[in-house]
Amino acid sequence: MDGRERAAIRRLRAGVVPSWALERLSVAYEQIKKVVDQSLERVLAQKQIGPVFVEGEWGVGKTHLLSYVQASARTLGVPCALINLDASSSALNYPQRFYATIAERLSLEEHHGLKAIVTHIVCDQRTRPLVYAFSKSPESGDLSYALSVLCHSALSGEEAVAEEQNSWNILLGLDLNWSTYGYKRRDALARISALARMFGATGLGGLVVLFDEAETVDQLWNIRSRLTAYTTIGSMCQSAGLWAIFGITERFNQTLAEDIRRLAQERFFVEQNAHWFLTRWQKTSFDIVTPPSIDRALARMVAERVAKLYRDAYQVDLNEVHFDQVVAEWASNPIRNPRRLIRSIVERMDRARQIEF
């Protein structure tokens, strides 16, 4: 019995597809896989990567698609973080606030959080010289001193690294997240770019950041606040080795259309990075992908894959379980929520297993 597969089934009961089962349960992802693979190749080459906007309303599989991208990055060993945006604690116009969230949620293999990742690479004899060389280059920006100190401390062991609180304050953004000053915004964006370059210099490729619920930009105070948010997007999308993915709904499109209309009629100061983003958005220069729609044939394929995972998890033979009714009921609902389909399949398997025992 595979405990990992049982853990997957437990999550599926709640409508959550775990990262280790994403590829197994994803259907009709051929085109999306091509976009993801091409973008990750550019991350690994430390090139500029155009952003991807994942568009869809609630329940159509947008979160699943974002998780698929995250799992693909992890498979290649590229540091990755998923951020849920809002209009207050994690707003696009205050990167100094979500920088700390990125640092907290970064993951790389078994290492979770920027502190764990940096501790790993500065304590590893193979990568420490690379980190130290990077800290002495102009590419390190204001991470230079912190990384240099941690490299020296690593010679005394992980305990000495953990005690360098001043260095960690800088790396984790604890000196940024309290402030609303404009220069702190610039510092945060510069550090995000520096992290991507550091990961590239140490053989980890770069940095992938996924921002879900980017449509909450419409809740910001006014157009000036949103222009600052567009500056944030434009800055990150032009940083080599940094791939930004944004989950959006139709609200995001409507907000941008209205702001672009106002900018054409009224005079507002538009920062260079914001202008870069808005111009390219208006020209539809960015990749916008939607989760693949699931028809009855694909729903049947999902049912078969979930059932196979269930059988592998519990080592039971439930081949007599048929899903025609489940798929038909799901297809009759105009929303056709993939989460509901998966939960219904698992529920049917649970009932069949209880009857058998």
| pLDDT (tens digit per residue) in 164-207 | 999 999 999 999 988 889 999 999 999 999 999 999 999 999 99
The whole-number average pLDDT for the span 205-224 is 96
Backbone angles phi, psi at 111, to 5 degrees: -100, 125
User: Do 102 and 185 lie in a common domain?
Assistant: yes
Where does a domain end: 258, 289, 320? Answer: 289
Select the more confidently predicted residue: 354 or 5: 5
User: Do 105 and 231 lie in a common domain?
Assistant: yes
CATH code for the domain in which residue 140 is found: 3.40.50.300
User: Do 179 and 246 lie in a common domain?
Assistant: yes
Backbone angles phi, psi at 247, to 5 degrees: -85, 125
Backbone angles phi, psi at 211, to 5 degrees: -110, 110
User: Do 273 and 207 lie in a common domain?
Assistant: yes
CA 67 to chain centre: 7
| pLDDT (tens digit per residue) in 100-154 | 999 999 999 899 999 999 999 999 999 999 999 999 999 999 999 999 999 999 9
pTM for this predicted structure: 0.89
User: Do 124 and 253 lie in a common domain?
Assistant: yes
User: Do 17 and 108 lie in a common domain?
Assistant: no
Q: Which residues contact 79 (CB under 8 A, 6 or more apart)?
A: 73, 106, 107, 108, 117, 195, 199, 204, 205, 206, 207, 208
Select the more confidently predicted residue: 23 or 281: 281
Domain, as residue range, for 196: 29-289
DSSP class per residue in 181-240? -HHHHHHHHHHHHHHHHHHHHTTS--EEEEEE-GGGGGGSSSHHHHHHHHHHHHHHHTST
Nearest to 153 by CA among 140, 168, 174, 136: 168
Where does a domain end: 289, 305, 331? Answer: 289
Mean pLDDT over each residue of the chain, to the nearest integer: 92
Residues 244 and 209: beta-carbon distance below 8 Å: yes
Could you give the number of structural domains in the chain? 2
Only one residue has tokens 């196979």, namely 308
User: Do 259 and 189 lie in a common domain?
Assistant: yes
The answer to which of 146-160, 227-241, 287-301 has the lowest mean pLDDT is 287-301
Share of the chain above pLDDT 90, in %: 68
Rounded-to-integer distance, Cα 88 and Cα 105, Å: 18
User: Do 236 and 110 lie in a common domain?
Assistant: yes
User: Do 255 and 152 lie in a common domain?
Assistant: yes
